Structure 1
Amino acid sequence: MTYATTPDGVRIAYQLQGGQGQGGQSGQDSEGTPTLVLLAGQANNHHWWDAVRADFHPARSTLTLDYRGTGDSDKPDTPYSTELFARDVVAVLDELGIDRADVYGTSMGGRVAQQLAARHPHRVGALVLGCTSPGGPHGVERGNDVRRALAQTRPGAARQALLELMYTPRWLDSHPGPHHTLGDPDMPAHARHHHLVASNRHDAWDLLPRIAAPTLVVHGSDDLLNPAANAPLLADRIPGARLHLIPGARHAYFEEFHAQAGPLVLDFLTTAPRGPAQLV
């Protein structure tokens, strides 16, 4: 297992696949393959990406991490925030000697990616925000019916509700699992609570205009867990951002519709105009 240590002494486990060696000022590995950072959803570890990360390897090495509180990372019982998670990503990039990388964040990972791109612009080459929200008073919250479904106490009911928010019934019929997007089952209760608070308190509205990286916003048109109405809010707020809705997709569009989403993201990453790294 490989780790980076954050300035506050927390060990963050990370996983680099699809390339060999460390990075450098170009954000490439030793074989010249650009690095793509993949950021998972709330209370999930790097396995969130297991089903699709190989889709990017023809053009990118992929870097994932276990957020503090998940996977093989330390799990301190202290407050978490999306800004803090973004600083943890920087610690991993520093450990690998990667000055700048492309970043693809989905769900809460998209919130972390917003913080990363706005507060550390010189570290982000291109940005993809999937099924995410600006948070705060400007974000569109899920409906009360969704909240009630996820709060069911009958055994298995809340899990089934989450599955149906993630995937379409047709896909679930042919993909019985295991599903790696339903949360890290080994998280301690305190870490799960800190993740929930971090995501709920995210508010990047005032930061979004500071994002200078070329940005693609992707969302499933039928996403009720993180309503699709958030996608145009992000795209309109981030200078020059592009927007793409995937018809019929729910929250886990990146997995169920990976045959469409993967090439869409790769095409954007390989054609987005790049300027010199910004120094702040």
Structure 2
Amino acid sequence: MTHATTTDGVRIAYQLQGQGAPLVLLAGQANNHHWWDQVRADFHPARSTLTLDYRGTGDSDKPDAPYSTELFAEDVIAVLDRLGIDRADVYGTSMGGRVAQQLAARHPHRVAALVLGCTSPGGPHGVERSNDVRKALAQPRPEAARQALLELMYTPRWLDSHPGPHHTLGDPGMPAHARRHHLAASNRHDAWELLPDIAAPTLVIHGADDLLNPAANAPLLADRIPGARLELIPQARHAYFEEFRALAGPLVLDFLTTAPSRP
């Protein structure tokens, strides 16, 4: 396992696959790099893919200390520095999209093009999930809560033909303290004031039927980021990138291929 070491001494595991210009893939909250297992090869005809295990997940260190999306972005910089990558395309989904916002706004010269999937600006401007969704996820029986999460991720038709295993439901090996820190990091995210500073060409992509991270967040991001393009995928839920990979993958690759280069 290959690691980069952050400025605060935390070891971050990373995985580089394929050939070509690097595309950084950032997973959702409390997930490791396996979030991307079903789709990362779709990018390899045109890109190499770089994933990482967030601190608290996978083979990375799991310090019991506060985490934040700003801190996760700095961890990405540590990995890029370790590999000698000056600039990369970045595709973040869910909490990974929040991390990608921080990365692109705070380190504009490191991000060539940006894709924000099923994510939110956070803070008072973000559209929160409904109380019904919160209650479904907080059910006391783990099996019921897991089923609720599955149905927020995927359509029933897809679940009927794809029994799993599913790699988007959280890292099963995470300690409880890391789960708490991930949840707090995602909940505290507020990039509203930073979004106009994003200089990279940006694609905002979202499942139109996403209730876990409501689709109403997508136009908020696209309107706030200069020149951003918006794509909504009809009938798709939170894990649009997997269930609707035949549509989402080519959309992302086409955008990355045609996005104008900015200094």
Normalised by the shorter chain, which TM-score bucket?
Answer: over 0.9
| 1:43–1:155 Cα change, 3 Å | closer
Q: Secondary structure at 1:245's aligned position in 2?
A: strand
Q: Percent identity?
A: 90
How far is 1:275 from its partner? 2.1
How far is 1:59 from its partner? 0.2
> 1:11: which partner in 2?
11
Q: What residue ranges of structure 2 are gaps of 5+ in the alignment?
A: none
Aligned equivalents of 1:61 and 1:275: distance in 2? 21
Q: Give deviations 1:250-274, integer Å, cap 9, x for gaps.
A: 0000000000000000000000000
> 2:66: which partner in 1?
79
Aligned partners of 1:23 and 1:96 also within 8 Å: no
Aligned partners of 2:204 and 2:229 also within 8 Å: yes
- What TM-score do you get using the length of structure 1 for normalisation? 0.92
Aligned partners of 1:41 and 1:108 also within 8 Å: yes
How far is 1:23 from its partner? 9.2
Aligned partners of 1:23 and 1:98 also within 8 Å: no
Q: Secondary structure at 2:193's aligned position in 1?
A: coil
| 1:203–1:122 Cα change, 3 Å | same
Aligned partners of 1:221 and 1:249 also within 8 Å: yes
Q: Give deviations 1:39-70, integer Å, cap 9, x for gaps.
A: 00000000000000000000000000000000
> 1:23: which partner in 2?
20
Aligned partners of 1:126 and 1:269 also within 8 Å: yes
Aligned partners of 1:45 and 1:184 also within 8 Å: yes
Q: Give deviations 1:137-161, integer Å, cap 9, x for gaps.
A: 0000000000000000124000000
Q: Secondary structure at 1:156's aligned position in 2?
A: helix
Q: Secondary structure at 1:199's aligned position in 2?
A: helix
How far is 1:178 from its partner? 0.2
- What TM-score do you get using the length of structure 2 for normalisation? 0.98
| 1:22–1:246 Cα change, 3 Å | closer
How far is 1:21 from its partner? 9.7
Q: What residue ranges of structure 1 are gaps of 5+ in the alignment?
A: 25-35
Among 210, 214, 220, the alignment partner of 1:223 is 210
Aligned equivalents of 2:7 and 2:262: distance in 1? 29
| 1:7–1:23 Cα change, 3 Å | farther
Aligned partners of 2:90 and 2:100 also within 8 Å: yes
Q: Secondary structure at 2:70's aligned position in 1?
A: helix
Figure out how many residues of one structure are paired with residues of the other and give that number. 262
Q: Give deviations 1:192-243, integer Å, cap 9, x for gaps.
A: 0000000000000000000000000000000000000000000000000000
Q: Give deviations 1:88-134, integer Å, cap 9, x for gaps.
A: 00000000000000000000000000000000000000000000000
Aligned partners of 2:201 and 2:228 also within 8 Å: yes
Aligned partners of 2:34 and 2:167 also within 8 Å: yes
> 2:259: which partner in 1?
272
Aligned equivalents of 1:101 and 1:53: distance in 2? 16
| 1:6–1:227 Cα change, 3 Å | same
Aligned equivalents of 1:139 and 1:254: distance in 2? 21
How far is 1:14 from its partner? 0.0
The runs of at least 4 consecutive aligned structure 1 residues that moved more than 2 Å come to 20-24
Q: Secondary structure at 2:142's aligned position in 1?
A: coil
